[in-house]
Structure 1
Amino acid sequence: MDTMRERFVTVTSEVLDTDPRLAVVLAEITMDGFRPARQRHPDRVVNVGIREQLLIGVGGGLALTGLRPVMHTFGSFLVERPFEQVKLDFGHQGTGGVLVSAGASYDWPAGGYTHMSPGDVALLDTLDGWTVHVPGHPDEAEALLRHAYADGDRKVYVRLSLQANGSARPVDGSRFRTVREGGRGVVLAVGPTLDGVLAATEGLDVTVLYGTTVRPFDSAGLRAAVGNGPADVVLVEPYLAGTSTAAANDALGDLPHRALGLGVGRAELRRYGTAEEHTAAHGLDPAGLRQRITDFLGVRRETPGAGVRTR
């Protein structure tokens, strides 16, 4: 199976051939993959070098000319380093574009903290009007990228990762999907966390929702899963823990509820290790999730499959 990043190259190169509005701006990262497309479209595949602020500035300028810019590099260099340019060149100027990141929170631990971006979605949350897609499989990434490219002049962030679920789910760029139904709580799994959440909640009488578009937050979908309350809600996100807790609280503001946000912790893990070791250290592996979810819900381990209906 190809990776999300490889699928990004394939899909974007194809759309460059068919949509004259699309333009790609790179900062060296993934440039090798786009060399054939650059030969075909030298005016719409631009490499600015290792200049991330310029990456966003050029993208904003292209948007002002009527093009649909796609800007790509590691998340830490795409959202965090040039954040002022993102805020001004798109938000303040009222333009639209597509940010496509690689690296996620800790896909490449050997790159050190400079290449980790657990706070990217939380940072974009300080700005208005951004759509945020977090695919959990290359097929989902393709669908969401195509959706983003055709999404008029909106501001869209597509967060790609080497971590992926074993199979793809249908995605529509807006709603949460019910994967499993239960009666003792709701667990929302975002993007590549789904397989771990399903393993962690096996045998628990809980509803599992799957989200690949987290902004705008699907308040109606969460409320439908919760019912009339009171409710216990756990949000499992592959980036900074608690990023969507406020959105969930707002969605359930008129209902008695408790919400637990699980994700990447704030403490920096200073040993490189592997991505899998980082996942376990942040309590996002099945064992860590199981313990924290059951502690929060106040339930003991149940017979696998009891009270569970899977779709």
Structure 2
Amino acid sequence: MTAQLARKQMRTVWADTVVESLDTDPRLVVLTADISSWFFWDAKKEHPDRVLNFGIREQAMIDIAGGFALTGMRPVVHTYAPFLIERPFEQIKIGLAHQNVGAVLVSVGASYDDPSWGRTHQAPGDVALLDTLPGWTVHVPGHEDEVAPLLHQAIASDERVYVRLSERANSEAVPVSDGFTVLRRGGAGVVIAVGPVLDEVLAATSTMDVTVLYASTIRPFDHAGLRAAVGAARPDVVLVEPYLRGTSAFEVSEALADVPHRLRTFGTWRDREARVYGTAEEHDRLFGLDAAGLAESITGFLG
């Protein structure tokens, strides 16, 4: 995953976009839990009733977001992924999903962007956890230029939307779409890259005769796009996601329910924890998500 040099980080683009939207959308209300609250200090002076910081009270923050949504407001809620999805999951389940109201949940930290903080700041299971609830749209941008259009789309709707930001990004943006974008075509199989793993996938498959699909929106899953790609290639599918391995395996199986196929998934471990610190790049190598590890594994799978 390519480091961002002399470029805005996704979180900065998110904050800039939300601040601009506060001036134009009277429905919008921003809720933070200390993390990134400094981006909104000036905006709070202009919109004191619509920029709220709750400290480390994430459960209350989600329930209050649900209350705002019930009154017709559009809440944008933000903190580190484990504090946004895992810690207040019951409130997400009841205060948002069961009440059938929407919000835009925007996380930072991804699976292990900054391992020096330890396991408390890592959330590789966030998307899998949201999959237990109905009606969520999940965006996983792979470049800072993909953030604003996805966020504008999310704010304009009334749906439940999760935007999973990362501190790392691909070298180039891919135009935002609702499903898969075909980046390469080949006949030996289909490789799906989600969000910020794209650079490593492209490097790993550079000499392979495979179709490469990219998604910055992974829920809803683009069943039709995958079926079309498999119809033009051997029905061997490789799924590379920047979170828990196999999170979208069910969706692949549903898309190809009547198509005999093989599936190989890549992501963070399911059967054990990485009880180490180090750097994000070292974690990539540990999980086999670096270009060299992916190339070896994908080659072995495709034969």
The answer to whether structure 1 residue 256 and structure 2 residue 256 are counterparts is no
Structure-1 residue corresponding to 2:166: 161
Select which of 272, 275, 279 maps to 2:280: 275
Residues 234-249 of structure 1 mapped to structure 2, 5 A cutoff: 234-249=238-253
The letter for the 1-side match of 2:50 is R
**1:154-193 deviation per Cα after TM superposition (whole angstroms, max 9, x unaligned):** 0000000011000111002x11100000000000000000
Q: Describe the superposition over 1:203-237 as per-residue Cα deviations: whole angstroms up to 9, x where unpaired.
A: 10000000111100000000010107750000000
Is residue 22 of structure 2 the alignment partner of residue 16 of structure 1? yes
Cα distance in 2 for partners of 1:64, 1:135 equals 28
Q: Tell me the equivalent position of 1:200.
A: 204
Aligned length: 296
CA distance in 1, matches of 2:47, 2:87: 28
1:113 corresponds to: 119
The answer for unaligned runs of 5 or more in structure 2 is: 1-6
Q: Distance in 1 between matches of 2:127 and 2:66?
A: 20
Task: Report Cα offsets for 1:246-290 as digits up to 9, x if no partner.
Answer: 100110010110111111113222221001101111100000100
Counterpart of 1:82, as a letter, is P
Partners in 2 of 1:8 and 1:168 — Cα distance? Answer: 15
Task: Give the secondary-structure state (helix, strand or coil) at the position aligned to 1:269.
Answer: coil
Aligned to 1:39: 45
**Aligned equivalents of 1:37 and 1:9: distance in 2?**
10
Q: Distance in 2 between matches of 1:63 and 1:26?
A: 16
Per the alignment, residue 80 of structure 1 pairs with 86
| Per-residue Cα deviation, 1:15-72 (whole angstroms, up to 9, x for no partner) | 0110000110011100111111111111001111111101101111110110000000
Correspondent of 2:219 among 204, 215, 223:
215
Secondary structure of the residue aligned to 1:183 is coil
* Rounded Cα–Cα distance in structure 1 between residues aligned with 2:280 and 2:251: 28
Answer yes or no: is the 8 Å Cα contact 2:79–2:108 preserved in 1: yes
Distance 1:228 1:254 in 2: 16
Aligned to 1:302: none
Give the superposition deviation at 1:143. 1.2
Code of the aligned partner of 2:163: V
Q: Is 1:138 the counterpart of 2:144 in the alignment? A: yes
TM-score, with structure 1 as normaliser: 0.94
Paired amino acid for 1:97:
A
Amino acid in the other structure paired with 2:173: A
What is the aligned counterpart of 2:34 among 28, 49, 53? 28
Structure 1 stretches of 4+ moved >3 Å: none
CA displacement, residues 76-122 of structure 1 (integer Å, 9 cap, x when unaligned): 00000000000001111010110000000001101110000000000
What SS does the aligned partner of 2:63 have?
Answer: helix
Give the Cα–Cα distance (whole angstroms) in 1 for the partners of residues 298 and 147 of structure 2: 28
Give the alignment of 1:91-102 within 5 angstroms: 91-102=97-108
Helix, strand or coil at the partner of 2:90: helix
Partners in 2 of 1:53 and 1:191 — Cα distance?
Answer: 28
**1:59 paired residue number:** 65
Distance 2:61 2:111 in 1: 21
Among 52, 67, 70, which residue is 2:76 paired with?
A: 70
Contact 1:229 1:255 survives alignment (8 Å): no
Q: Could you tell me how far apart the structure 2 residues matched to 1:79 and 1:22 are?
A: 21
Q: Distance in 1 between matches of 2:55 and 2:13?
A: 22
Equivalence for 2:3 = none
Letter in 2 for 1:295: G
Provide the identity percentage: 60
